[in-house]
């Protein structure tokens, strides 16, 4: 297993990140943290560790620099700046494509809270690199017009005891034209702190990623059979 503390060049800044790539990785999951959070989020680290057992690499990065984080802690200015966060996520997707351990691997964007809105905008900007978007207790509504134009399949995971966010996700789902699924975790609140709630998130994410990877593999196989190589 490859593991490295990295500096990701994105959006004109260098962002701190933790890249872990298991052997025979099938894709890499790029985490977009929510408002006021960072790559040290205990919940996302638990999800990342579980996904790696399914041969999925993970990149957890701080979407803000240390100086920006200090400013945001006082003002809250950056955490809802979806254009800023999405631009940096798109830059991180490009960075992954240039890294020797992840070059060519499909990218899964996993967004929590406001990070989900940024993930959808980044996926719309990188349609050929993003396999799918997964939102955990997210705010997909913050993606704005990208909801109608994003092509990547979208999985929306929401706690059943998080009524306002559930309503926002239901409204966002009606605006999505891409393949999507809304899954409700019964009894879970916004942070999925209830026993077993986060395990349901990781389980649903693993199954969803498997489905998307199989769909891509099937599409490639179908294309190859439709256009067989000519005999020399």
Span 22-58, pLDDT tens digits: 999 999 999 998 666 678 888 889 999 999 999 999 9
Q: What is the pLDDT of residues 206-231, one digit of tens each?
A: 999 999 999 998 877 776 555 554 44
pLDDT of residue 69: 83
Q: Could you give the CA distance from residue 47 to residue 107 in angstroms, rounded to a whole number? A: 16
In the chain, what are the domains?
A: 2-37+51-218 (3.40.50.1820)
Cβ proximity of 45 and 74 under 8 Å: no
| For the chain, percent of residues with pLDDT exceeding 70 | 94
pLDDT of residue 229: 47
Q: Is 184 exposed, middle or buried (0-12, 13-18, 19+ CB in 10 A)?
A: middle
Region 168-173 average pLDDT: 98
Average pLDDT, the chain: 92
Identify the helix (H) or strand (E) that includes residue 18.
Answer: strand 13-21
pTM of structure: 0.91
**Confidence check: pLDDT of 105 > 60:** yes
Q: Which of 147, 76, 155 is nearest to 118 (CA)?
A: 147
């Amino acid at each position: 297993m490859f593991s490295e503390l990295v500096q990701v060049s994105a959006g004109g800044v260098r962002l701190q990140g933790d890249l872990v790539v298991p052997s025979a990785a099938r894709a890499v999951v790029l985490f977009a943290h929510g408002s006021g959070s960072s790559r040290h989020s205990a919940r996302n680290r638990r999800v990342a560790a579980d996904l790696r057992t399914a041969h999925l690499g993970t990149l957890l990065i701080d979407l803000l620099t240390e100086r920006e984080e200090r400013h945001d802690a006082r003002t809250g200015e950056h955490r809802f700046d979806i254009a800023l966060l999405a631009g940096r996520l798109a830059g991180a997707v490009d960075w992954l494509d240039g890294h020797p351990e992840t070059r060519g691997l499909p990218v899964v964007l996993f967004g929590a809270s406001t990070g989900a809105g940024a993930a959808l905008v980044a996926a719309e900007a990188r349609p050929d690199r993003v396999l799918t978007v997964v939102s955990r207790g997210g705010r997909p509504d913050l993606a704005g017009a990208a909801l109608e134009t994003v092509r990547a399949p979208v999985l929306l995971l929401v706690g059943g005891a998080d009524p306002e966010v559930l309503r926002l996700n239901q409204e966002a789902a009606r605006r999505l034209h891409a393949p999507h699924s809304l899954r409700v975790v019964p009894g879970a609140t916004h942070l999925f702190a209830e026993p077993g709630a986060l395990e349901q998130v990781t389980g649903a994410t693993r199954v969803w990623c498997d489905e998307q990877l199989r769909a891509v593999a099937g599409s490639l196989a179908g294309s190859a059979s439709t256009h067989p190589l000519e005999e020399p």
